[in-house]
């Protein structure tokens, strides 16, 4: 298991507005389990796909992170100073957006992509088609 610094989900089509020109990246500290299980509200970043510009940044305060422990996962409390920080910077957001667009192009269908960031590198842990469009 990767010791994730930040993890999240990318929808290569805006899942709420169904705008095919926008993608959303959700990000939280630690493993993606906290986002998928609804234990935290992630940061959200909206990107214009064709222009590759950041349209919106919503930073959410995170009070806990799920991290890798010796015998599984551990819930780690985050103080306000750490938990209120933006999870990915602009450069990282654009790097991940480009990677996710390549995956969408490969599969020729909008994707729901789970990812993690560790040691200055993104890892894709899962990609599947968005079925709710």
Residue-by-residue DSSP string for 42-54: PEEEEEETTTTEE
Q: Considering only the top CATH level, what class is 6-129?
A: alpha beta
pLDDT by position in tens, the chain (length 133):
678 999 999 999 999 999 999 999 999 999 999 998 999 999 999 999 999 999 999 999 999 999 998 898 999 999 999 999 999 999 999 999 999 999 999 999 999 999 999 999 999 999 999 988 8
Distance CA 5, CA 84 (A): 15
- The Cα diameter of the chain in Å comes to 44
| pTM for this model (two decimals) | 0.94
């Amino acid at each position: 298991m990767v010791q994730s610094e930040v993890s999240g989900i990318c929808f290569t089509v805006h899942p709420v507005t169904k705008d095919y020109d926008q993608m959303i990246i959700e990000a939280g500290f630690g493993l993606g389990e906290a986002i998928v299980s609804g234990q935290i509200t992630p940061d959200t970043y909206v990107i214009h796909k064709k222009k590759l510009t950041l349209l919106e940044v919503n930073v959410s305060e995170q009070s806990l992170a799920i991290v890798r422990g010796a015998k599984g996962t551990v819930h780690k409390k985050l103080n306000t100073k750490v938990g209120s920080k933006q999870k990915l910077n602009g450069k990282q957001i654009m790097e991940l957006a480009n990677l996710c667009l390549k995956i969408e192009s490969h599969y020729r269908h909008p994707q729901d992509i789970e990812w993690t960031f560790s040691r200055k590198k993104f890892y894709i842990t899962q990609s599947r088609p968005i079925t709710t469009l």
